[in-house]
Structure 1
Amino acid sequence: MRSLPQALRLSARGLVAGLLTVLFLTPFYLMLRNALMDSRGLTSPHWTWWPSTMHWGNFTALFSDPSVHMGDALRNSLLIAVITAPVSTLLASAAGYAFARIPVPGKGVLLALVVGTLMIPGSATFVPTFVVVGSLGGVNTLWGIIAPGLFNPFAVLLFRNFYLRFPAELEEAGRLDGLGWLGLYGRIALPSSGAMLASLGALAFIDSWNGFLWPLVIGQDPSAWTAQIALSTFLTSQTINLPGLFAGAVVTITPLVVMFLVAQRYIVEGIATSGLKG
């Protein structure tokens, strides 16, 4: 049998875990509850734990509103995230491997420039980036939203640290088979970094899906709106549509919840362990 102090510690851990779980799930409960209420119930001073009449029509009205284009916005967001996440992750992986393994002149200077980009606030590069993308015809296009997000210096540094600890014996075996740097990366290093690829890819997907300011400036036409921009139209100085806002929030957050549930193990594994054990 467990001793009393050990049992108390387990009980305390269970209590803390339960409280944290409730705190974590409370926003999702409130979001779903509000999405199933009407405007009168949402603005009522009397609290109700669950609506007596669930208004599922809020979700159908969300997609039938001609001024919002929620279906097109969700499609745009999904397309942007599906392209940005794998491409930016693979580019960061290749750059990280090059910084970690390939001996080239000036590599230290290039690495310092990559680190330096992390110190530049986004507000300082926002206008120049808009000028460049706009001059190339990227306004109101999906590629104009996608292109600036394909370079992730933070992911490059994580991959560099990962490949610095990569077993050199595996690469030596590949060299005996006649592999060059590209072959070593594509056939040995890249397949062995699945956890890092999955974790950083999932984080890139979430970051791309939640993007608001850059898609708002570039996607000026409703045809280029993302889900987050479409949500903002429910709450303006002219109109307030709280049921539509909460229904849209439930719809737009669902892909992120699914992504997190699928990739949570890889996120923890990839970020917590930035290398391989000997």
Structure 2
Amino acid sequence: MNRYRGRIAGSIATYLVLCLLAVVFLIPFYVLLRNAFMTTPEVTATDWHWLPSALNWENFSSLFDNPERPFGQSLLNSLLIAVITAPLSTLLASMAGYALARIDVPGRAVVLSLIVVTLMIPQAVTFLPTFMVVGSMGGVNTMWGLIAPGLFNAFAVILFRSFYVSFPAEIEEAGRLDGLSYLGVYRRIILPNSITMIASLGALSFIEAWNSFLWPLMIGQDPGSWTVQIALSSFLTSQTVNLPELFAGTVVAILPLVVMFLIAQRHIVQGIAMSGLK
């Protein structure tokens, strides 16, 4: 009986701690929504207000009324980049991971080492040479110039390789006995059994592409090529500070990420657990 009561007390304590942590993590979202419906004097006031005096929906409508800040076009650009980058980069990483795990070719270990080394190079170091290459090919202010450099994901390649190394080789051998090539085995056997990994890494790739800022800032110099992150940064400059619209724009910008996370959170956890990496 005492052991049973101890388990109940432990469960209650665990749930209380989890609820407290949930509240702590939700505080930034509360502040974001609160400020999005406030006026500038209310946001910058020294005294704290839990709720705005009135819901200022004008903060949201004015986001799309300024022709010098094409927020709607920026949302479409970010959505297009993320929708194209996520499936293509995930598919390429899956194919590369399978090749490194199963196809025995000379230099495979060297290629894998080079991919691992790319993870150790700060991304900011590669911006200038990548900009020079893409710019020399006419990629400035173009959609392909925004998308192409993000199609290779070394982290996803390593995760897929770790997953395919632990994949049962007997299943592949059965496919080879039926006359399938490496491409046939990958398309008919490997790919259908990688749905969880593809879904999880695809969701992470979507989030990364949506949140990308430095590369779109360099290559998308025309306002028509801005992404949503660049459009948000234009609300806070050395000349103008528009905090209510900045918070309102942030609320709109994070909605796709919240929906993506709610849909794919189970796949994200399962995919990383199945990769074999702790």
Q: Name the TM-score, length of structure 1 as normaliser.
A: 0.97
Deviations 1:144-196 (A, max 9, x none): 11111111111101100100011112112211221000000011001100110
Deviations 1:20-74 (A, max 9, x none): 1101111111111100111111112221111121101111011112221000000
Flag structure 2 segments of 5+ consecutive residues without an equivalent.
Answer: none
State the match for 1:172 in structure 2.
Answer: 173
Deviations 1:120-143 (A, max 9, x none): 222221111110000000111111
Q: In 1, distance between residues paired with 2:119 and 2:244?
A: 39
Report the CA distance between 1:210 and its aligned residue.
0.3
Q: In 2, distance between residues paired with 1:121 and 1:41?
A: 40
Q: In 1, distance between residues paired with 2:51 and 2:174?
A: 63
Give yes or no for the alignment of 1:251 onto 2:252.
yes
**Higher mean C-alpha deviation, range 179-188 or range 38-47:** 38-47
State the match for 2:269 in structure 1.
Answer: 268
State the match for 1:92 in structure 2.
Answer: 93
Equivalent residue runs for 1:112-123 within 5 Å: 112-123=113-124
Residue aligned with 1:3, SS: helix
**Higher mean C-alpha deviation, range 241-250 or range 38-47:** 38-47
Q: Which amino acid aligns with 1:167?
A: P
Q: In 2, distance between residues paired with 1:229 and 1:156?
A: 29
State the match for 1:66 in structure 2.
Answer: 67
Q: In 1, distance between residues paired with 2:192 and 2:231?
A: 38
State the match for 2:8 in structure 1.
Answer: 7
**Higher mean C-alpha deviation, range 179-188 or range 123-132:** 123-132
State the match for 1:37 in structure 2.
Answer: 38
Root-mean-square deviation over aligned CA pairs: 1.1
Q: Which amino acid aligns with 1:204?
A: S
State the match for 1:234 in structure 2.
Answer: 235
Q: In 2, distance between residues paired with 1:22 and 1:32?
A: 15
Q: Which amino acid aligns with 1:70?
A: F
Q: Name the TM-score, length of structure 2 as normaliser.
A: 0.97
Q: In 2, distance between residues paired with 1:231 and 1:274?
A: 35
State the match for 1:133 in structure 2.
Answer: 134
State the match for 1:81 in structure 2.
Answer: 82
Equivalent residue runs for 1:40-59 within 5 Å: 40-59=41-60
Q: Which amino acid aligns with 2:123?
A: G
Q: In 2, distance between residues paired with 1:118 and 1:43?
A: 41
Residue aligned with 2:134, SS: helix
Q: In 1, distance between residues paired with 2:170 and 2:24?
A: 47
Number of residue equivalences? 275
**Higher mean C-alpha deviation, range 39-48 or range 159-168:** 39-48
Q: In 1, distance between residues paired with 2:153 and 2:249?
A: 29
Q: In 2, distance between residues paired with 1:182 and 1:240?
A: 55
Equivalent residue runs for 1:94-109 within 5 Å: 94-109=95-110
Equivalent residue runs for 1:182-193 within 5 Å: 182-193=183-194
Report the CA distance between 1:18 and its aligned residue.
0.3
Q: Which amino acid aligns with 2:51?
A: W
**Higher mean C-alpha deviation, range 45-54 or range 66-75:** 45-54
Q: In 1, distance between residues paired with 2:160 and 2:272?
A: 10
Give yes or no for the alignment of 1:223 onto 2:224.
yes
Q: Give the % identical residues.
A: 65
Q: In 2, distance between residues paired with 1:158 and 1:94?
A: 12
Equivalent residue runs for 1:149-164 within 5 Å: 149-164=150-165
